[in-house]
């Protein structure tokens, strides 16, 4: 799973068939059925257009994608959320994060040992509680984000809900870039022994990312500086 995670970040277009070949070339033999199972467990999907992209959880409402052609010109215009896999020495955790598109500021994050969406709801409530609500909130069509207990939080705040299609990682490109940064600058250079160690290190890293790490897309400013200057919110 750790090797698949690294390969997916390096080659996000690689599906299970290509990953089998890439693993074999690195001396790891695994059949395609196993790769498919592990990718599903990790929440990974190759980034390429497909037919019949949208397969929402039965009974969950799916919202249209609202950001095509929209210029993001201010903080709290658009937030987005996503989940990624975090390896541990003896297992793994899931990390969810919410990011402001304009400033790249990480508004909230949370760890969980399962994909039950309580940790996503906690992160969302924390982000809204600490910051002003966004105008638009974007996610993929994962069951965690289409569930009524999640979308009801957004709708109760009159936030417009936007959802991209399955296999459309570019619709959520800012948080995909965040995952790549977090993995290569923090996760892959550590060896988290357990969830407590993962939390301590990720907490330290996200503070660095928000408050100290200069961002090239922000002309060398930090996400915290851009978000605070435009909103006046004390962070």
Which residues fall within 8 angstroms of residue 212, CB to CB, at 6 or more apart?
Answer: 222
Nearest to 137 by CA among 127, 87, 129: 127
CATH homologous superfamily, domain 78-231: Ribonuclease H-like superfamily/Ribonuclease H (3.30.420.10)
209 half-sphere exposure, CB direction, 13 A CA radius? 25
Task: Check: CB of residue 37 under 8 Å from CB of residue 72.
Answer: no
The residue length of the chain stands at 235
Write out the two tokens for 52.
Answer: 């019949």
Beta strand pairing call for 136-139 and 106-112: unpaired
The model carries a pTM of 0.81
pLDDT 10s per residue in the chain (235 long)?
Answer: 888 888 888 887 788 888 998 888 888 888 999 999 988 888 777 765 443 333 456 667 889 999 988 999 999 999 999 999 999 988 899 999 999 999 999 999 999 999 999 999 999 999 999 998 999 999 988 899 999 999 999 999 999 999 986 544 455 788 888 999 999 999 999 989 999 999 999 999 999 999 999 998 899 999 999 999 988 877 7
Domain boundaries, the chain: 2-42, 78-231
Phi-psi region of 118 (alpha: psi -120 to 50; beta: other; left: phi over 0): alpha
């Amino acid at each position: 799973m750790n090797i698949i995670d690294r390969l997916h970040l390096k080659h996000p277009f690689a599906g299970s068939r290509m990953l089998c070949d890439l693993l074999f070339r690195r001396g790891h033999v695994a059949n395609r059925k196993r790769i498919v199972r592990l990718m599903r467990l990790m929440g990974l999907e190759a980034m390429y257009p497909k037919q019949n992209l949208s397969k929402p959880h039965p009974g969950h409402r799916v919202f249209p994608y609202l950001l095509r052609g929209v210029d993001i010109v201010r903080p709290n215009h658009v937030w987005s959320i996503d989940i990624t896999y975090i390896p541990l020495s003896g297992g793994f955790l899931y990390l969810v994060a919410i990011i402001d598109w304009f400033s790249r500021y990480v508004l909230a994050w949370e760890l969980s040992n399962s994909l039950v969406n309580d940790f996503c709801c906690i992160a969302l409530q924390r982000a809204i509680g600490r910051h002003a609500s966004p105008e638009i909130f974007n996610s993929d069509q994962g069951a965690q984000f289409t569930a009524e207990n999640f979308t009801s939080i957004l709708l109760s705040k009159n936030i417009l809900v936007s959802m991209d299609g399955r296999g459309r990682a570019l619709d959520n490109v800012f948080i995909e870039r965040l995952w790549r940064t977090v993995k290569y600058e923090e996760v892959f250079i550590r060896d988290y022994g357990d969830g407590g160690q993962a939390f301590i290190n990720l907490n330290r890293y996200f503070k660095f990312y928000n408050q100290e790490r200069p961002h090239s897309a922000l002309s060398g400013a930090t996400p915290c500086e851009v978000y605070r200057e435009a909103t006046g919110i004390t962070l």
